[in-house]
Amino acid sequence: MAKVRLSIEVSKELAALLDSLAENEETSKTEIVRRALSVMKAYRDQAGVGRRHIGFTADPAKLDSELIGVLNLPETVGTVHNDRANRIGTSS
């Protein structure tokens, strides 16, 4: 895949948040932006089929779809094993 270099201008607060997220996730700021864009794309895709809410639940078995690979969380957090899950970053 061909890559394009972008330059963005953000507030000091957003720059600090980006630095913090990248440090906490042990990855690059570029990867954090890629993950954020993946979430936005997933929302757009889901909104296109009538699902306009992004949310959190204590019971992952009740999810219609799932975003994974956005944050480096322990494997037990957010793991759903059902056929309805739409997974970002993995093949179905």
Query: DSSP string spanning 36-76?
Result: HHHHHHHHHHHHTTT-------S-GGG-S----SSS---TT
Q: Which domain holds residue 16?
A: 12-53
pLDDT, residue 20, reads 97
The total domain count for the chain is 1
Q: Is 65 a domain residue?
A: no
Q: Is 7 a domain residue?
A: no
Chain segment 10-51, per-residue pLDDT in tens: 999 999 999 999 999 999 999 999 999 998 898 888 888 888
pTM, rounded to two decimals: 0.67
Q: Is 66 a domain residue?
A: no
Q: Is 21 a domain residue?
A: yes
pLDDT, residue 75, reads 53
Q: Is 18 a domain residue?
A: yes
Q: Is 71 a domain residue?
A: no
pLDDT, residue 18, reads 97
Residues 6+ apart with CB under 8 A from 92: 86
Per the listing, tokens 């009740």 go with 62
